[in-house]
Amino acid sequence: MKTFLKWLVLAPLGLILLAFAIANREPVRIVLDLLPGESEFQIAAPLFLVLFLAAGLGVLAGGLATWLAQSHHRRAARHARSDIDRLRNEADNLRAQLAARSVTALVRSQDAA
């Protein structure tokens, strides 16, 4: 069901993007120089490619910003996992010591009887 719903959304979206790309094939001039006037720093590319690349760079920049902003959460989770592992090991050691003491106590009580 989840796969069907995913395709129900993605298929029309893909068709819309394909139609957009076909309708906007004309090359546009992208000037990479910030100063006014004629520049040698320019490229010509189809409009759809320029827009798709800009959207892709925006997604990458947003993902990177989110990843960097959440670094303290990942660090806290890593420290919590190490504390949990340490406490589990300590609990296992204490259980083993308790079991060994109870066996020793049981043997002593049987020897006394």
pLDDT-derived band at 39, boundaries 50, 70, 90? confident
Q: How far is CA 105 from each of CA 98, 101, 102, 109, 111, rounded to the nearest angstrom?
A: 10, 6, 5, 6, 10
pLDDT at res. 64: 97
Q: Does residue 28 contact residue 46 with C-beta atoms inside 8 Å?
A: yes
Strands 42-46 and 27-31: antiparallel
Q: Is 37's pLDDT higher than 80?
A: no
Q: Is 47's pLDDT higher than 70?
A: yes
pLDDT tens for 58-79 read 999 999 999 999 999 999 999 9
Q: Does residue 53 contact residue 28 with C-beta atoms inside 8 Å?
A: no
Query: Helix-strand-coil percent breakdown of the chain, rounded to 5?
Result: 75, 10, 15
Return the percentage of the chain with pLDDT > 90, whole number. Answer: 49
pLDDT mean across residues, the chain? 89
Return the percentage of the chain with pLDDT > 70, whole number. Answer: 99
pLDDT at res. 75: 96
Show the CA angle centred on residue 67, arms to residues 75 and 3, nearest 5°: 115
Q: Does residue 21 contact residue 45 with C-beta atoms inside 8 Å?
A: no
